[in-house]
Amino acid sequence: MGFNVAQKIIKKHLAEGRMKKGKTVALRIDQTLTQDATGTMAYLQFEAMGVPKVKTELSVSYVDHNTLQTGFENADDHRYLQSVASKHGIYFSRPGNGICHQVHLERFGAPGKTLLGSDSHTPTGGGIGMMAMGAGGLDVALAMAGQPFRIVMPEVVEVRLTGKLQPWVSAKDIILELLRRETVKGGVNKVYEYTGEGVESLSVPERATITNMGAELGATTSIFPSDNVTKQFMKAQGRVEDYSRLKADPSATYDKTVEIDLGSLEPMIAKPHMPDNVVKLSELEGTKVQQVAIGSCTNSSYRDLMTVAGALKGKTVHPGVSLGIAPGSKQVMNMLALNGALADMVAAGARILESTCGPCIGMGQSPSTDAVSLRTFNRNFIGRSGTQSAQVHLVSPEVAIAAAISGEISDPRKLGEYPVIKTPKKFLVDDNMILAPAENGSKVEILRGPNIAPCPTKEPLEEMLEGEVILKVDDNITTDHIMPAGAKILPLRSNVPKISEHVFVSVDPEFPARAKAKGGGFIVGGSNYGQGSSREHAALAPMYLGVKAVITKSFARIHLANLTNFGIIPLTFVNEGDYDKIDQGDQLEMNTKSIKKTMTLKNKTKGESYQLTHTLDPRAVDIIKAGGSLAYAKANMSA
């Protein structure tokens, strides 16, 4: 039996385990990336391991999230990140050089390599044929220290693309259609692999748009084959030597096949407040729009913004719309500036933003009260934009620009001739904003600001867990619910005691104070708990507040790993109906002297007992018992 693309990369990088679905496998990691919202904590954890230099082929530290500097905190973090990168053998992408996923695709990604990033949209690299996965910062720190990364051996879902996209229909519509079918929890422990004749018609930036938003499916990753399209892209980036051909064997099999006829697709839109709340654009035509934002790691490539500039040329943004555009990298910004496209966008009335994540994580450009905002981003969770009442929709650049011109949701196919953009034969390559590490890291001084606090640790697991249900929540709780982002909270990422004051405040403003007063306790949740961003602070800060266990119907992959990493037991109900029997305020207890596959939870308030289970392998159980991955790793490194 032959192998598909995902299986080939897993097989080549297998460090431990067997390639059997549902079993844990450990993979050697070739490359890592971090960004500044997660990086500071990841490097504090790496420092705590005492490893002098990263052991990966390549590690890159990007600054692209916390660039709004309204105080000293973000600037201090950037200074720390630059110094720690220089000392420990890590490349440093300076503020202004671009969004990590866009820059990594341009300058570092290579087919067949494994990439682990402390950002959930790291699967963007799948557009170039990488096994690129998002993880918590501690998992990335461990990978930099030479440890393999563990995942559940995934099912591989074939997404067979046939036909060719019609003008004004784009790659964003492909992934929105897949989200409509598969939902935000349909991809847990799955890899989505794209095949079929339709693949050849998609450029690398288009493929990267699709793999980027595969994160919204809850997938382990998404991947395209590496073919002549890939080769031409890498040649245009001056990196053809990094190219290698990678495709599925003729006899490869898949666990499931989804077919999408590209020719029959039409413009799609994700309504508030979930990426899978997708309908045909025609259902919302005529809705007035107050804001349009174009950019993010999903749709900020040269191709995307040349399409936008072409549609805007000679026109003016509607007087009722604020249009913000953020090129994804310095390379994109420079090329737009030199060929006149940037001038066309400015002349039309666009506001040109930094080459950063910006509005996507609530870092500026918040919409007005009750505004309808169309964004080419990947998430539209309630409040993520910085405005709780905003109605954020996810769309393609084509749909976004049609709304910016007309002032309402309208079909871009009415704009006339489609500005077809070809991949340049040669991109403008200038890596002057990427700093190589010092040749002798021992001489580099690490610079720490007063907001940078040590990473808190947890004591080994107690033999009996007792406490109150300090919060009960519904299905599809995101990491934005647990640990909000935005311009006010993101600067506190380096200071867990401070940022812990904001845990779950969008759900229950009293939660942080109650957790402290009760000495911690239990959280009870519904299905798909912890979906969304990879932010480990959604586990780290609750751990600091004393959360002992999280009990749900089901977990999102990365958050499950993050809870384990910080010594919080992730448990699920054997009988999901038991979720309804537990109320906030109930007193619970559980014997954890031995973590068995099935465990009994006692509700002392109601005099009831419930059966719980987990997906932890023996190593993960040992991590929980040790008080988390950092304590476990240090003990094993010492041994």
Catalytic residue among 502, 535, 537, 614: 535
Helices (H) and strands (E) in the chain, counts: 19, 27
Give per-residue pLDDT as tens, 292-313: 999 999 999 999 999 999 999 9
Catalytic residue among 30, 36, 64, 139: 64
pLDDT at 67: 86
Is 65 in the active site? Answer: yes
Give per-residue pLDDT as tens, 397-450: 999 999 999 999 999 999 999 988 888 999 999 999 999 999 999 999 999 999
Catalytic residue among 13, 65, 107, 557: 65
Three-state DSSP at 179 gives helix
Give per-residue pLDDT as tens, 122-141: 999 999 999 999 999 999 99
Percent of the chain with pLDDT over 90: 89
Give per-residue pLDDT as tens, 342-358: 999 999 999 999 999 98
pLDDT at 353: 95
Does 268 have pLDDT greater than 70?
Answer: yes
d(CA 229, CA 225): 10
Q: Are strands 322-325 and 351-352 parallel, antiparallel or unpaired?
A: parallel
Domain ranges of the chain: 282-415, 464-638
Is 119 in the active site? Answer: yes
pLDDT band of residue 206 (cuts 50, 70, 90) is very high
Catalytic residue among 107, 318, 379, 448: 379
Closest CA to 139 of 112, 115, 165, 123: 115
- Look up residue 38 and give its two tokens: 């997660």
pLDDT at 461: 92
pLDDT at 494: 87
Question: Mean pLDDT for the chain?
Answer: 95
Catalytic residue among 76, 77, 119, 586: 119
CATH number belonging to domain 464-638: 3.20.19.10
Does 637 have pLDDT greater than 90?
Answer: no
Give per-residue pLDDT as tens, 16-39: 999 999 899 999 999 999 999 899
pLDDT at 270: 98
Is 527 in the active site? Answer: no
Give per-residue pLDDT as tens, 229-254: 999 999 999 999 999 999 999 999 99
Q: Residue 171, Cα to own-chain centre: how many angstroms?
A: 19
Is 448 in the active site? Answer: no
Long-range contact pairs involving 406-409 (C-beta distance under 8 Å, separation at least 24): 406/318, 407/288, 407/289, 407/318, 407/319, 407/320, 407/321, 408/285, 408/286, 408/287, 408/288, 408/289, 409/269, 409/281, 409/284, 409/285, 409/286, 409/287, 409/289, 409/372, 409/374
Does 639 have pLDDT greater than 80?
Answer: no
Out of 3.30.499.10, 3.40.50.2300, 3.40.50.11740, 3.40.50.11540, the CATH code matching 282-415 is: 3.30.499.10
Catalytic residue among 533, 534, 554, 629: 533
